[in-house]
Amino acid sequence: MPTPSNPIISHYHRGGLFEAILRRLQESGVDLASVTPQDLAPVDEFHVRGAAVTKELSGTVDLKGKQVLDIGCGLGGPCRFLATEYGCQVTGIDLSPEFIRTARALTKLVGLDGQITFLEASATNLPFPDAHFDVTWTQHVQMNVANKQRFYSEMSRVLRPGGQFLYYDIFYSGTGTVTYPMPWATDASHSYLSQAAEVHALLADLGFRQKSKQDQTQAGIAFFEKVFQRLATEGPPPLGLHLIMGESTQQKLGNLLAHLREGALVLESGVVVK
């Protein structure tokens, strides 16, 4: 399969990803006939702090039985968590055809394909009717979206009145220079970092009300410090995000950790209500 021409899709593209994950599961001693969502967590939670922060964020609101849209779903780990833990009907969208192919295959593998739908689609042109979802969800997505106005407008459009938007994101602090590559971008040409205050103002203009927010920066730093300690003593695990990020994994994560320490980048989670 040729490398995609879209620089964002190209950045994330790894051919044969599902097959690579199956091989690594087998190498780890996992029975492919009884794979669980927890078995997949090392590779399908592509954001700082992984599955732990997905669990934390989901606990900030009542999600039981809700219709949820995960925008920028990646390999679908959070979708599978929400379906399993809260009985949600979840739809995940992503620009990457390979991510969507892999998300569908992994979801079928763990027997959740009746609760989750995955679509290849753009976050700025959502293929859903107005007021269709109870909850929208994003983790480390807006940095890849140039048109923030369109991104959050579409999110508002598909949310029902009183619906909630849950986010966990990376923001620019307003000081310092960002060095690439990063986990979300090979270079600055397809990185669209914003300051948190700019996004909050945009959401307020669209009629959203901030319900809660939390600075996650120090927790992210502590997480990465443990990751690099393990890498130094044990090397990369059989199943991990290096399957997505490739040979430059440590450089990308090292750059992100350095910028969090220096204060150029910050991590924030929160809930806003339409």
Instruction: Please report, rounded to a whole number, the percentage of residues in the chain having pLDDT higher than 70.
Output: 98
What one-character-per-residue DSSP string does 7-49 give?
Answer: HHHHHH--TTHHHHHHHHHHHTT--GGG--HHHHHHHH--STT
Superfamily (CATH H level) for 7-170+193-217+268-273: Vaccinia Virus protein VP39 (3.40.50.150)
pLDDT tens per residue across span 91-148: 999 999 999 999 999 999 999 999 999 999 999 999 999 999 999 999 999 999 999 9
Predicted pLDDT of residue 45: 95
What Rg, from alpha-carbon coordinates, does the chain have? 18
pLDDT at 243 over 80: yes
Between CA 85 and CA 63 the distance in angstroms is: 9
Closest CA to 178 of 266, 48, 74, 49: 266
pLDDT tens per residue across span 47-73: 999 999 999 999 999 999 999 999 999
What one-character-per-residue DSSP string does 183-202 give?
Answer: TTBSSGGG-----HHHHHHH
pLDDT tens per residue across span 192-240: 999 999 999 999 999 999 999 999 999 999 999 999 999 999 989 889 9
Between CA 8 and CA 225 the distance in angstroms is: 27
Predicted pLDDT of residue 4: 63
Domain boundaries along the sequence of the chain: 7-170+193-217+268-273
Residue 265 pLDDT level (bands cut at 50, 70, 90): very high
Predicted pLDDT of residue 204: 98
Residue 10 near residue 16, CB atoms below 8 Å? no
What's the chain's average pLDDT?
A: 95
pLDDT at 1 over 60: no
